[in-house]
Structure 1
Amino acid sequence: MRRFAYNAPMTSTTTAPTLKANLLYPQLMQVSRAMEARLMHRMSINGHADLTMNLGPPLMLIATGRFRLNTLASKLGMSNQQCNQSLKPIERLGLIERQSDPSDARAKIIVLSEKGTRLITDAIDGIFNINNELEETIGSEVMFRLTDAANALCQQANLIGNVEHRIPFAGLAGISSRYLEKRLMELTKQQGHKHLQMSFSQVLGYMPVEQHIGITISELALQNKVSIQAISRIANELEGLGYVARVTDNHDKRVRRLQLTERGLVLMQDAVRSTQKLDAELLDMLGEKNKTALEEGMSALYRIMLKPELSDHDEDNPQLAVLLDYIRGYAKNPTHIHNSHLERQLMANINDAQLAALQGIITRLGEKA
């Protein structure tokens, strides 16, 4: 979880916490999602059009070993029921099978089907290509140290099966991110937030704190690339727990926004404390050298993947893809997509030449509409 947005919305007297959180966790979460989005885009072009972002994590994990449902659920940070639900669309696509466990005939293990194996082969090619592109940008030495650290983390945390070779970082980013999110959730639960779920990060992770502007369900669905109904269910749970409230937009009374409450602010403070505890865990697990390599590598990837030099012709640039999604969404529905916090974030560090290139893209989009 990154930014956590109590039973009333924050007021002008409410201030954000001054505790310092390690940027590794939000950066890893955002970079891993950007990598997954880039991979899904390439897989779609290569004929795997039925894939969605939420299918990637369980598929990539199943590709590393043969797991029982409870083991797979634990590694994904889900309950057995949630994990089983997440596997159903993958089974419908014929990508996985349930087989009898040789060690216990009463139990089932989940494995890739032949079709799933072919898909993973294509995905692995895509992962290596993405990894090579990123290595060219941040340098082979930084990527080598980052990959070593990520492999050490996944092995120490028992996140992957027995593998003969180092797995490229692009293949470990999502697994590592979900493990750290799960640990942050567990540590935060211990501070009195016992009803937290991994899915809550799809809302809490994007709640703007600084400007108290709130965010709409549509904006959250756009950023997570999931349905409005899925985000609404999570928002309803969070509202029931008193972490967020629905407020009327100051500029358009028809629009309802989710805003952090006072209880939500306490959650955010507790989550920051949890990151400090997790820092100590990581240092213990990895040692100073690997932990530093993980932090420095993630910082470098974050800068180039989420704050890159915008290009008029770089169609595979993840930041450009986010901007174009935003522009298309805004064109369809300015009221519901408008988000000044997101605009500031997306437009940060763009110089005049880059802005001109972006305006050219916008113009062409308008001509195509």
Structure 2
Amino acid sequence: MDASKSDAAQTDDQELPLGVLLFIPSRAMEAATMEGLARAGYTDMTVAQARIAARVAPGGSRVTELAEAAHVTRQNAGFLVEQLERAGYVERVPDPADGRARLVRIAARGHAARAAVLPVLAEVEAQWLAHLGPQRMTQLRETLNLLREITDPFLND
């Protein structure tokens, strides 16, 4: 059975937990992103790799930071970064703040992949806007930003 049908069936019996309600649209956005990447020719990136790549800060990130942000082990993050590096999505460069450390930065192919996904993200948001209406969409964004204040440990980094 399709996961979305399973979720819908569950609502007949009981109200879904808030975490599940937050997860379902997040998963839909992630699926649309991955489909958009594939349509644009980026068929070699996995969901796990995309989750790591999405967390690379504009100036670069250390693998330990990526692991923490993605809620994976440092070893897993390092493995995913190696795969992304081999595929040309990221590059490792010396950390100017610490000559012993290296930063992971988005490489040219990674920037191109991100650019290819932007219209997909805009399309999903437009669908949600059409469904929710402008007032609810604004409320959703405001509410999620308020929750971010107490749930995002990287907000002020």
Pair in the same fold by TM > 0.5: yes
Equivalent runs, 1:200-239 vs 2, <5 Å = none
1:58 is matched with which residue?
52
- String of CA shifts for 1:303-351, please: whole Å, max 9, x gaps: xxxxxxxxxxxxxxxxxxxxxxxxxxxxxxxxxxxxxxxxxxxxxxxxx
Q: Say if 2:149 is the partner of 1:149.
A: no
2:76 is matched with which residue?
82
Q: TM-score, normalised by structure 1?
A: 0.36
**1:63–1:46 CA distance, 2 compared to 1 (3 A):** farther
- String of CA shifts for 1:6-34, please: whole Å, max 9, x gaps: xxxxxxxxxxxxxx997221122232122
Counterparts of 1:61 and 1:160, CA distance in 2: 12
> What letter corresponds to residue 159 of structure 1 in structure 2?
F
The alignment covers a number of residue pairs equal to 143
- String of CA shifts for 1:157-212, please: whole Å, max 9, x gaps: 233577xxxxxxxxxxxxxxxxxxxxxxxxxxxxxxxxxxxxxxxxxxxxxxxxxx
- Alpha-carbon offset, residue 97 of structure 1: 0.8
**1:47–1:73 CA distance, 2 compared to 1 (3 A):** same
Q: Say if 2:133 is the partner of 1:159.
A: no
Counterparts of 1:104 and 1:63, CA distance in 2: 17
1:26 is matched with which residue?
20
Counterparts of 1:44 and 1:63, CA distance in 2: 23
Q: TM-score, normalised by structure 2?
A: 0.78
- Alpha-carbon offset, residue 88 of structure 1: 2.2
**1:85–1:32 CA distance, 2 compared to 1 (3 A):** same
**1:34–1:133 CA distance, 2 compared to 1 (3 A):** same
2:10 is matched with which residue?
none
Equivalent runs, 1:101-120 vs 2, <5 Å = 101-120=95-114
**1:21–1:102 CA distance, 2 compared to 1 (3 A):** farther
**1:66–1:161 CA distance, 2 compared to 1 (3 A):** farther
Q: 2:65 is matched with which residue: 71, 74, 77? A: 71
Q: Which consecutive unaligned segments of at least 5 residues does structure 1 have?
A: 1-19, 163-369
> What letter corresponds to residue 154 of structure 2 in structure 1?
L
- String of CA shifts for 1:51-83, please: whole Å, max 9, x gaps: 222222111111555211111111111121121
> What letter corresponds to residue 158 of structure 1 in structure 2?
P
Q: Say if 2:88 is the partner of 1:94.
A: yes
Higher relative contact order (CA 8 A, sep 6+): 1
Question: What do you get for the CA RMSD once the two structures are aligned?
Answer: 2.4
Larger radius of gyration: 1
Q: Which consecutive unaligned segments of at least 5 residues does structure 2 have?
A: 1-13
> What letter corresponds to residue 129 of structure 1 in structure 2?
E
Q: Say if 2:131 is the partner of 1:137.
A: yes
Equivalent runs, 1:1-369 vs 2, <5 Å = 23-62=17-56, 66-154=60-148, 156=150, 157-159=152-154
Counterparts of 2:50 and 2:59, CA distance in 1: 15
- Alpha-carbon offset, residue 100 of structure 1: 0.9
- String of CA shifts for 1:236-263, please: whole Å, max 9, x gaps: xxxxxxxxxxxxxxxxxxxxxxxxxxxx
Asked if the contact 2:56–2:105 (Cα under 8 Å) also holds between the matched residues in 1, the reply is yes
